């Protein structure tokens, strides 16, 4: 088995396309199976606890008093919470909560490493929570399950941290797409929320995994290519006044999303402070939630039925508003107390009920100028989720895919973007990242660096320049071009100054109807030379190549523009890019290894940025005296990371990253403060 694993791992490292695609397909299949298994498990637990046990409890209580039969949700949801509490305590504590923050934390702190057992434990605990009637969704658990599957496979194959994170994204995307039957929503959720990167490398493989997961789910469940929430009527904007009302609703949705998140965090904080055994906290939260469910049973479980009713105008305005408030409270009690379930669908539920209630009000006031309440419910779902998750693109696409309604795209985008903008101004943290910030985990956008912006012309140019004199006869130039297999040369005068450039095209034009025997290079060369400087980036140089269709650019001395210091060819750019890409891969693995060194060990990172007049500025690494209790791991210079060597010169603006023990970190940070 180990031999097979090593062979597969080695092949995947060498394969740039086929290997990763195969891995993405495997993850998609596994996640599709997991999504169907979770759905079946929820249905089974629901039949066993709500319909079976709940029905018997209701019958016994009704024999005592007719009203007591309505209280059956209290013991059933509490029992589900107790079971989940025991599971999380003894099998995998990271299965508590809604799952998405745990995946984001794994990406940020441990290179995407998630224990394989999390997938199985999360599936069981989520099925018990939702099946017993807890107010939560399947999407958070399936994100964690899919991410755990992808991470486990990548770790088994001993892939790099970058590939592990990519596999985590593939699993998360597959989970969302298979749960909602919305493949593009899965892709965007994984990129916008989980890894927070939109790059071609991530996008391609995540799309593959998402599509395969959707196909697997449809094959196993016979669901087909049908929207999750089919609409009786197609919604569209009725008038400009309608758009105004939709936009105003975006403000309400931002406030609702904030209330949703704040209530969840409030319950989490209070539950953490309770001095009772941890396994009893989900039971207590479930019992209180069961009391609320007596009045509003539609909030139990995911609430797909109530969402569908709201979208199809089957619920009255006052009931919609009551369900909105109840769902916020019940979700906070279920998930915040330690239950295992997602907040994606509860956020959609909250938005749908709020939008439907708002739509009932404005449609009753101006029926000819406004859409039906169902249209407002649809837009409200997108706006509340997007505002809560700070993910407007995902919010827009998921509602389009789940309802198969494209005609209301303008109000949908307007309200969603406005709600997200307001929510981001109210708080920099989303309902997923606030929990992580409280734990000291910073989640930042980490777009991949464009290497062409990080490489200078000086690093790529060829300093050995072949030039021709302006007095050279054209026949001699032609002979030299053929002999050296070149397409052109810079032209210099007797003093060695650059005066032009001559190419094969110039020669071909000269040969048309002219006697070249008497011509000199100065007669046919191009005098208006396009040049570049050593300190320019390759991105700037490439733009000049593209605009002017040149195959080479002279590199001049900025202090003496007539003096050449090198030549930059297209082949030089390609070579420099490949070298930088190899160095970047090496540095990424080293950087990620440093970050993950903290996990499971008493190690932390300390860093400081070198100022212009700092004591370390201008010194080499060999000359600098670093603390004995710390090791210089990386020098971050602009968008790139530099491997520190003895001869590396520390420059102003460099960020020094040192690895040290947790106990020595304050002393090392104090040293950095003095020296930088």
Contact indicator for 347, 380 with CB cutoff of 8 Å: no
As a residue count, the chain comes to 676
447 found inside a domain? no
CATH number at residue 517: 3.10.580.10
Contact indicator for 395, 389 with CB cutoff of 8 Å: yes
Pair 475, 427 in one domain:
no
Of 540, 574, 608, the residue that ends a domain is 574
Pair 34, 87 in one domain:
yes
pLDDT digits (tens, 9 = 90+) for 414-457: 999 999 999 999 988 888 888 787 776 766 655 445 556 667 78
591 found inside a domain? no
DSSP letter for each residue of 203-246: HHHHHHHHHHHHHHHHHHH---S--SS--SS------HHHHHHH
Residue span of the structural domain in which 171 resides: 23-39+47-221
DSSP letter for each residue of 246-300: HHHHHHHHHHHHHHHHHHHHHHHHHHHH--S-GGGHHHHHHHHHHHHHHH-GGGS
Query: Which helix H or strand E contains 665, and what residues bound it?
Result: helix 665-675
Pair 549, 631 in one domain:
no
Give the chain's end-to-end CA distance (angstroms, integer): 51
Pair 432, 458 in one domain:
no
Residues with Cβ < 8 Å from 346, sequence gap 6 or more? Answer: 135, 136, 137, 260, 303, 327, 328, 331
Pair 546, 603 in one domain:
no
Of 188, 221, 254, the residue that ends a domain is 221
115 found inside a domain? yes
635 found inside a domain? yes
pLDDT greater than 50 at residue 577? yes
600 pLDDT tier (thresholds 50, 70, 90): very low
Contact indicator for 205, 20 with CB cutoff of 8 Å: yes
257 found inside a domain? yes
Q: At what angle do helices 373-389 and 344-365 cross, to 10 degrees?
A: 140
Return the structure tokens found at 447.
């777009």
Residues above pLDDT 70, as percent of the chain: 87
- 136 φ, ψ (degrees, to nearest 5): -160, 170
pLDDT greater than 60 at residue 546? no
Alpha-carbon gap, residue 623 to 113, rounded angstroms: 38
pLDDT digits (tens, 9 = 90+) for 290-342: 999 998 999 998 889 999 999 999 999 899 999 999 999 999 999 999 888 88
Residue given tokens 């593939």 in the structure block: 170
pLDDT digits (tens, 9 = 90+) for 390-405: 989 889 988 888 888 7
Q: At what angle do helices 161-180 and 200-221 cross, to 10 degrees?
A: 40
Alpha-carbon gap, residue 189 to 38, rounded angstroms: 19
Alpha-carbon gap, residue 142 to 641, rounded angstroms: 35
> What b-and-e string marks burial along 220-247, b requiring 16 or more CB atoms within 10 Å of the CB?
beeeeeeebbebeeebebbeeebbebbb
Pair 86, 212 in one domain:
yes
Pair 399, 469 in one domain:
no
307 found inside a domain? yes
DSSP letter for each residue of 135-162: S-BSHHHHHHHHHHHHHHHHHHTT--HH
- 610 φ, ψ (degrees, to nearest 5): -75, 125
Of 574, 607, 635, the residue that ends a domain is 574
pLDDT of residue 650: 85
Query: Which helix H or strand E contains 625, and what residues bound it?
Result: none
CATH number at residue 102: 1.10.3080.10
pLDDT of residue 324: 95
Task: Give the total number of structural domains in the chain.
Answer: 4
266 pLDDT tier (thresholds 50, 70, 90): very high
3-state secondary structure 325-376: HHHHHHHHHHHHCCCECECHHHHHHHHHHHHHHHHHHHHHHCCCCCCCHHHH
Contact indicator for 376, 358 with CB cutoff of 8 Å: yes
Pair 76, 172 in one domain:
yes
pLDDT digits (tens, 9 = 90+) for 83-101: 998 988 888 777 777 788 8
Q: Which residue in 422, 376, 412 sits closest to 259, CA to CA?
A: 422
What residues form DSSP beta bridges with 659? 605, 631
pLDDT greater than 80 at residue 579? no
11 found inside a domain? no
Pair 349, 414 in one domain:
yes
The number of C-alpha atoms within 13 Å of 282 and in the hemisphere containing its C-beta is 35
Q: Which residue in 111, 185, 109 sits closest to 142, CA to CA?
A: 185
CB atoms within 10 A of CB 306: 25
pLDDT greater than 90 at residue 14? no
Alpha-carbon gap, residue 642 to 635, rounded angstroms: 5
Alpha-carbon gap, residue 252 to 243, rounded angstroms: 15
644 found inside a domain? yes
Query: Which helix H or strand E contains 568, and what residues bound it?
Result: strand 560-569
pLDDT greater than 90 at residue 245? yes
pLDDT greater than 50 at residue 601? no
CATH number at residue 646: 3.30.70.1450
For residues 541-549, average pLDDT: 62
Pair 35, 144 in one domain:
yes
**Between the CA of residue 541 and those of 110, 455, 498, 502, 555, what are the distances in Å?**
38, 11, 19, 19, 10
Alpha-carbon gap, residue 250 to 244, rounded angstroms: 10
Pair 542, 635 in one domain:
no
Pair 419, 502 in one domain:
no
């Amino acid at each position: 088995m180990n031999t097979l694993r090593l062979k597969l791992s080695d092949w995947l490292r060498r394969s740039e396309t086929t290997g990763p695609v195969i891995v993405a397909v495997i993850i998609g299949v596994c996640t599709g199976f997991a999504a169907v298994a979770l759905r079946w498990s929820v249905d089974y637990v629901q039949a066993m606890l709500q319909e079976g046990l709940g029905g018997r409890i209701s019958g016994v209580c009704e024999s005592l008093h007719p009203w007591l039969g309505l209280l059956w949700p209290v013991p059933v949801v509490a029992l589900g919470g107790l079971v989940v509490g025991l599971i999380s305590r003894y099998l995998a504590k990271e299965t508590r909560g809604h799952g998405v923050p745990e995946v984001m934390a794994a990406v940020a702190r441990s290179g995407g490493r998630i224990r394989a057992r999390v997938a199985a434990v999360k599936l069981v605990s989520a099925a018990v929570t939702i099946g017993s009637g807890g107010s939560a969704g399947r999407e958070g658990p399936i994100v964690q399950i899919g991410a755990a599957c992808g991470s486990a496979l990548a770790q088994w194959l001993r892939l790099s941290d970058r590939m592990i994170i990519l596999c985590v994204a593939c699993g998360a995307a597959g989970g969302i797409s298979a749960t909602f039957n919305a493949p593009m929503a899965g892709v965007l959720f994984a990129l916008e929320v989980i890894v927070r990167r939109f790059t071609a490398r991530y996008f391609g493989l995540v799309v593959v995994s998402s599509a395969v997961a959707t196909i697997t789910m449809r094959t196993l469940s016979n669901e087909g290519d049908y929207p999750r929430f089919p609409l009786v009527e197609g919604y569209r904007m009725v008038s400009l006044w309608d758009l105004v009302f939709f936009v105003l609703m975006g403000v309400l949705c931002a406030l609702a999303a904030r209330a949703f998140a704040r209530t969840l965090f409030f319950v989490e904080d209070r539950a953490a402070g309770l001095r009772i055994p941890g396994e009893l906290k989900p039971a207590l939260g479930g019992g209180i939630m069961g009391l609320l469910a007596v009045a509003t049973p539609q909030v139990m479980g995911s609430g797909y039925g109530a969402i569908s009713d709201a979208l199809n105008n089957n619920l009255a305005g006052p009931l919609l508003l009551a369900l909105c408030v109840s769902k916020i409270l019940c979700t906070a009690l279920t998930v915040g107390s330690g239950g295992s379930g997602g907040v994606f669908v509860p956020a959609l539920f909250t938005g749908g009920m709020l939008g439907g209630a708002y739509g009932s009000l404005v449609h009753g006031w101006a029926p000819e100028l406004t859409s039906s309440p169902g249209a407002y419910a649809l837009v409200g779902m997108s706006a509340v989720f997007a505002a809560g998750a700070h993910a407007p693109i995902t919010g827009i696409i998921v509602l389009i895919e789940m309802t198969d309604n494209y005609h209301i795209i303008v109000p949908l985008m307007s309200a969603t973007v406005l709600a997200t903008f307001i929510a981001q101004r109210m708080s920099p943290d989303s309902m997923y990242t606030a929990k992580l910030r409280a734990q000291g985990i910073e989640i930042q956008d980490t777009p991949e660096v464009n290497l062409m912006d990080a490489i200078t012309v000086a690093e790529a140019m060829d300093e050995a320049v072949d030039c021709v004199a302006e007095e050279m006869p054209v026949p001699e130039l032609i002979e030299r071009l053929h002999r050296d297999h070149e397409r052109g040369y810079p032209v210099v005068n007797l003093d060695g100054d650059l005066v032009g450039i001559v190419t094969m095209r110039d020669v071909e034009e000269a040969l048309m109807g002219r006697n070249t025997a008497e011509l000199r290079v100065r007669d046919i060369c191009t005098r208006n030379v396009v040049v570049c400087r050593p300190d320019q980036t390759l991105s700037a140089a490439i733009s000049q190549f593209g605009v002017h269709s040149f195959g080479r650019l002279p590199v001049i001395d900025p202090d003496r523009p007539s003096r050449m210091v090198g030549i930059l060819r297209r082949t030089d750019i390609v070579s420099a890019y490949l070298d930088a890409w190899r160095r970047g891969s090496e540095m990424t693995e080293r950087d990620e290894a440093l970050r993950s060194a903290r996990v499971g060990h008493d190690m932390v990172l300390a860093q400081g940025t070198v100022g212009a007049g700092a004591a370390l500025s201008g010194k080499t690494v060999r000359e600098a005296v670093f603390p004995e209790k710390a090791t210089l791991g990386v020098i971050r210079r602009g968008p790139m990371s530099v491997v520190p060597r003895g001869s590396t010169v520390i420059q102003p603006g460099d960020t020094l990253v040192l690895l040290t023990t947790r106990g020595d970190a304050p002393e090392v940070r104090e040293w950095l403060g003095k020296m930088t």
